[in-house]
Amino acid sequence: QVQLVESGGGVVQPGRSLRLSCAASGFSFSNYGMHWVRQAPGKGLEWVALISYDGSTKNYADSVKGRFTISRDNSKNTLYLQMNSLRAEDTAVYYCAKDSYSYGHGYFDYWGQGTLVTVSS
């Protein structure tokens, strides 16, 4: 069965960096686009970034463009999100989600359990 397990969340000061990881299993990771989606406390879902199956295409929400970098290591079946210059408004549960297609233009058919990032001094 498909499993997505996020890690790397925690408490970080404003302006600092954090890297999230998402370990995938139960499907051919290298064939599918992947996303990061976040949810601030008590708020709705916000798409953050996507990466195509081979890493050749990366798109970002305007709110994180220039600060966050999505990447993947298909040899390790792992998705990453490097978050730099963190702000209080980045505080959220971060979910990784599998796309139904290779280039990430489909729907999110599987989600991880999420990892909480808290940006606070």
Partner 1 sequence: QSVLTQPPSASGTPGQRVTISCSGSNSNIGSNTVNWYQQLPGTAPKLLIYSSNQRPSGVPDRFSGSKSGTSASLAISGLQSEDEADYYCAAWDDSLNGPVFGGGTKLTVL
Give the residues lining the site for partner 1 (CB under 8 A). 35, 37, 44-47, 50, 59-62, 95, 100, 105, 107-114
Smaller CB separation from partner 1, 75 or 107: 107
CB 41 within 8 A of CB 9: no
Chain-centre distance of CA 79, in angstroms?
7
CB of 114 to partner 1, least distance (A): 6
At closest approach, how far in Å is the CB of 13 from partner 1? 27
- Which residue, 71 or 111, is less far from partner 1 as judged by CB? 111
DSSP letters spanning 1-34: --EEEEE--EEE-TT--EEEEEEEESS-GGGS-E
